[in-house]
Amino acid sequence: MPTLVVYTCAALAEIAGCFAFWSWLRSGNSALWLFPGMVSLAAFAWLLTLSPADQAGRAYAAYGGLYIVASILWMWAIEGHAPDVWDALGGAVCLAGAAIILWAPHAT
C-alpha cells in the first residue's frame, strides 16, 4: 500500500476509535460504542506497521502530521465545526514537517 494511503487509513481508524470512546464517556452514548472503538484502534495499530519507514519512531512522527490534518477534517465533516485559518495553517505546517521526516534523505 502506498505510504499516504496507509497513513490516511491509520488516521481515520485512530480518530474513529477515539471518537467512539469519546462518545461513550463524554457524550453519554451506550457502552456498545466501545466494541467498534477497540476494533478501530486495533486496525490503526496494524496499519502503522505497514509504513515503509525503517524506524518505528520515524513512522509515528511522519504519521503525526497527517493525523493532525485528518483530525481537523473530522472536526469539520463529522462534528460540523469548520476549521479556521489557524487550523488550516497549523495543518499545513504539520504536513510539511511530516513530509520532511518521511521523505528526506536520512543517513543510514
Write out pLDDT tens, residues 1-57.
688 899 899 999 999 999 999 999 998 899 999 999 999 999 999 998 888 777 788
Distance of CA 26 to the CA centre of its chain: 20
Stated pTM of the model: 0.78
Q: Residue 97, exposed/middle/buried by CB under 10 A (0-12, 13-18, 19+)?
A: middle
pLDDT given at position 1:
67
pLDDT, tens digit, 9 for 90 and up, residues 74-105: 999 998 999 999 999 999 999 999 999 888 89
Which grid cell is 86? Answer: 489557524
